[in-house]
Structure 1
Amino acid sequence: MLRRLPVEKMGESNLGWLRSKFHFSFAEYYNEKNINFGVLRVINDDYIAPGTGFPTHPHRDMEIISYVIEGKLTHKDSMGNESTLERGEVQYMSAGTGVTHSEYNKHAEDTRILQIWVLPDRKGHTPNYGEYKFKYEDRIGKWLHFVSSKEGDAPIKVNQDVNFYVTEIEAGKEMEFEVKEGRQAYVVQIEGKSEINSTAMNPRDGLETIGESLKIAALEKSHILVIEMKEREDLK
């Protein structure tokens, strides 16, 4: 089963300094039929204006991954971490029992990120932060597996049975992604245009699949994220 979520149908917000598209209910956007997809609770496609950002604020009991698409993102948190990430680099935070952090664009150009929240396997984990400055070429023409559970083999490990993959496919090329029985996946067409199982995907579109593997044909250079997880009847 496939279901496309075109960017035009997403929730949105424009605060001037922050322009967002919401794949799922968030902030002032509420849709009772679109709260989450399995353990995936939030995907916000954010543009942060130069010299602005999210001031220090708290989180708890959530696995938070930020994927930088354009510009630079500077992170600072109550655990003593501070760093700046660029295109294709990733930060993650297990908020657990509680953490505060800020995220700023301290540079001259817009910063675009995907801010992704995953429900943890239980409450009360010890807070944790990490980052990976992947080589961009590690995703060109292949799947870069960058997030997994603690039992998985990705470099970033979170407290949930979930896997993140990203690729960049040249125009005219094809790739496949297997979704096994009992599993489901969410796709973000970050950049470019493609066809996924003959479904047209435009920039910033989302796509749900339950138990159906994917054949992706890039109509133009395509930057694509796939978040794969166990199918959850109680969280559909």
Structure 2
Amino acid sequence: MLRKLDNKNMGRSDLGWLKSIFHFSFSNYYNKDNMNFGVLRVLNDDLVKTNTGFEMHPHKDMEIVSYVVDGELTHGDSMGNKNTITRGHVQYMSAGTGVYHSEHNLGENTSRFLQIWIIPNEKGLTPNYGDYRFQWEDRKNKWLQIVSSTEGNAPIKIYQDANIYVLELEKNKEIDFKVREGRQAYLVQIEGISEINEIELKDRDALEVVEEDILIKARETSHVLVIEMKKGN
């Protein structure tokens, strides 16, 4: 099963310093029929103006992954961590029993990043933070796994049966992705235009995939992210 999600129909917010596209119900956007996709609870495509950001605020019982598309993202938290990541880099936070954090753009240009929340497989975990500076070329025309479960082999591990992959596919090239029985995936066309099983996706569109293999053909150089997980509502 494949279902295209046009970004024009997604939730939106414009606070001046922050412009967001909400793939699922979040903040001022509420749709009781669009709360999650399996264990994927939040996917926000955020644009943050320079010298602004999210001030210190709390989270609890959520696996939070941030993937930077452009610019800089500086993280700080109540555990004493402070780090800045840039394009193609990833930070992860297991909120667990509770943690406060802030996210700021201290760079010269607008920052764009994907904010991903995944429901953990248990509550009350010990809070944890990590970041990883992946090399851009490691995702060129091939899948780069950036996140896995704690039993997996990715550099970043989360407390859920879910995997995250990224890819930059050059124009006119193609690559497949297998979604086996009992599994599903949420694909985000971050940049460019691609054709997936004859469905066209433009930048910021998404695709739900359930128990079906897909073939991605890049009409333009395409930057893609896939969250693969166990099948669920």
TM-score higher than 0.5 here?
A: yes
3-state SS, counterpart of residue 165 of structure 1: strand
- Return the alpha-carbon distance in structure 1 between the equivalents of residues 80 and 96 of structure 2: 16
Which residue number corresponds to residue 206 of structure 2?
Answer: 206
3-state SS, counterpart of residue 123 of structure 2: coil
Which residue number corresponds to residue 126 of structure 1?
Answer: 126
Once superposed, what is the RMSD of the aligned Cα atoms? 0.4
Give 1:108 shift: 1.6
Which residue number corresponds to residue 29 of structure 2?
Answer: 29
1:49-94 residue CA offsets vs partner (Å, 9 max, x unmatched): 0110000000000000000000000000011100100000000000
Moved over 4 A (4+): none
Equivalence map 1:100-119=2 (5 Å): 100-119=100-119
- Return the alpha-carbon distance in structure 2 between the equivalents of residues 106 and 166 of structure 1: 25
Give 1:224 shift: 0.2
3-state SS, counterpart of residue 134 of structure 1: coil
User: Which residue identity is paired with 1:90?
Assistant: V
Which residue number corresponds to residue 177 of structure 1?
Answer: 177
Give 1:32 shift: 1.1
The answer as to 2:60 corresponding to 1:60 is: yes
- Return the alpha-carbon distance in structure 2 between the equivalents of residues 107 and 27 of structure 1: 26
- Return the alpha-carbon distance in structure 1 between the equivalents of residues 217 and 39 of structure 2: 27
The answer as to 2:194 corresponding to 1:194 is: yes
User: Which residue identity is paired with 1:59?
Assistant: H
User: Which residue identity is paired with 1:57?
Assistant: H
User: Which residue identity is paired with 2:173?
Assistant: K
Equivalence map 1:78-97=2 (5 Å): 78-97=78-97
- Return the alpha-carbon distance in structure 2 between the equivalents of residues 188 and 126 of structure 1: 30
- Return the alpha-carbon distance in structure 2 between the equivalents of residues 6 and 162 of structure 1: 24
TM-score between both structures, scaled by the size of structure 1: 0.98
- Return the alpha-carbon distance in structure 2 between the equivalents of residues 197 and 139 of structure 1: 21
3-state SS, counterpart of residue 224 of structure 1: strand
Give 1:133 shift: 0.3
3-state SS, counterpart of residue 117 of structure 2: strand
Equivalence map 1:71-82=2 (5 Å): 71-82=71-82
- Return the alpha-carbon distance in structure 2 between the equivalents of residues 119 and 215 of structure 1: 28
Gaps of 5+ in 2: none
1:129-170 residue CA offsets vs partner (Å, 9 max, x unmatched): 000000000000100011000001111000000000000000
User: Which residue identity is paired with 1:75?
Assistant: H
User: Which residue identity is paired with 1:153?
Assistant: N
User: Which residue identity is paired with 2:191?
Assistant: E
Gaps of 5+ in 1: none
Which residue number corresponds to residue 47 of structure 1?
Answer: 47
Give 1:31 shift: 0.9
- Return the alpha-carbon distance in structure 2 between the equivalents of residues 33 and 129 of structure 1: 32
Give 1:107 shift: 1.6
Which residue number corresponds to residue 157 of structure 2?
Answer: 157
Identity among equivalent positions (%) equals 61
- Return the alpha-carbon distance in structure 1 between the equivalents of residues 196 and 119 of structure 2: 27
